[in-house]
Chains A and B, each alone.
Chain A
């Protein structure tokens, strides 16, 4: 039985040696690429293989077919982003439609996202979820909407402008105070005779 204390310690030592070896291999692999690559360059063997991840822009028809198959799309539908150096690689350029436009009654695998498992995601998928940007058709066309809004706002602005030019309010006058405009309360000299203030005209 390999569970006696002596055997357990030897297997632990072997595991420690294995781990040290893999660390040494990672360091060796990264020596030409810098500190950051030491951690991100040495990938684990579990998870995706390199050819199922996005790659460079496809140029030959074989590359295009392979990329379409990788992204679970038909060759007819697969169109990469134009190769102008912005960094898209071979990621497909899907139509910019939000998830709100998709059929609400179809049995999606993920009903809140209206998406099926394995379906290629738009580059701006996080923008097109149902809580955010919605590109669905409007009940009234754009021209009518914009004309209504601009017409209303313009009319209100014009009316406020007229109200500034021709003001209309109850007649007011400055407040009149008794006792010669409160001469003593405002700190006037009690010895001196204040000048007479007449706030009325008969």
Chain B
């Protein structure tokens, strides 16, 4: 464990996390116990629904519904800050202007060459 180097963009496995072995403070243990309690409660709810012989419908997952709802309802919480305005300009406005400039100059150059008769059509299949 002493010379294990984490790779960037990847995580250290939980079994190599020093906190599991050296940090045995009561707060850490209490937090772990709370998490285990939440997890056990969810497991119990799921098992009760899964093994219910009178159940005819699918078990719906509220966490999945929340995830889908959050991903589709971004606009109500959107605010026009400097960061979001900058992103809007960078991704929405600048590409239009930039690519317009690029295509226009390229086509103008090609038109000039065609008019002057210097356009090299050696490997062109069309035009």
- Give A residues with C-beta under 8 Å from B: 47-48, 52-54, 56-57, 70-74, 76-77, 84-89, 91, 95, 97, 101, 109, 116-121, 123, 125, 135-138, 141-142
Given contacts A87-B78, A137-B7, contact A116 B38 (CB under 8 A): no
Across the interface, name the chain B residue whose C-beta is closest to A133.
B9
| A contacts with B: majority SS | loop
B11 to chain A, nearest CB (A): 5
- Across the interface, do A71 and B66 meet the contact criterion of CB distance under 8 Å? yes
- Across the interface, do A117 and B74 meet the contact criterion of CB distance under 8 Å? no
B18-26, B57-65, B97-105, B116-124: which lies at the interface: B57-65
The tally of residues in B whose CB lies under 8 Å from a CB in A reads 40
Q: Which 4 A-B pairs rank lowest in CB-CB distance, beginning with the nearest?
A: A85-B79, A87-B74, A117-B46, A118-B42
Across the interface, name the chain B residue whose C-beta is closest to A145.
B7
Number of A-B contacts (CB under 8 A): 113
- Across the interface, do A53 and B65 meet the contact criterion of CB distance under 8 Å? yes
Across the interface, name the chain B residue whose C-beta is closest to A85.
B79
Across the interface, name the chain B residue whose C-beta is closest to A109.
B46
- Give B residues with C-beta under 8 Å from A: 5-13, 31, 34-35, 38-39, 42-43, 45-46, 59, 61-67, 69-71, 73-81, 83-84
Partner of B8, one of A87, A116, A142: A142
Given contacts A54-B69, A85-B78, A135-B11, contact A119 B42 (CB under 8 A): yes
- Across the interface, do B77 and A123 meet the contact criterion of CB distance under 8 Å? no
Q: Which residues of A contact B9 (CB under 8 A)?
A: 135, 142
- Across the interface, do A116 and B69 meet the contact criterion of CB distance under 8 Å? no
Q: Which residues of B contact A136 (CB under 8 A)?
A: 10-11
B50 to chain A, nearest CB (A): 8
* Cα separation A61 to B73 with both chains bound (whole Å): 24
- Across the interface, do B70 and A52 meet the contact criterion of CB distance under 8 Å? no
B93 to chain A, nearest CB (A): 18
Q: List 7 additional contacts besides A87-B78, A119-B42; criterion CB under 8 Å.
A: A70-B66, A72-B63, A86-B83, A87-B77, A97-B11, A118-B46, A118-B63
* Cα separation A73 to B12 with both chains bound (whole Å): 22
Partner of A123, one of B71, B81, B83: B71
- Across the interface, do B84 and A54 meet the contact criterion of CB distance under 8 Å? no
* Cα separation A86 to B91 with both chains bound (whole Å): 14
Given contacts A53-B69, A101-B11, A137-B6, contact A84 B83 (CB under 8 A): yes
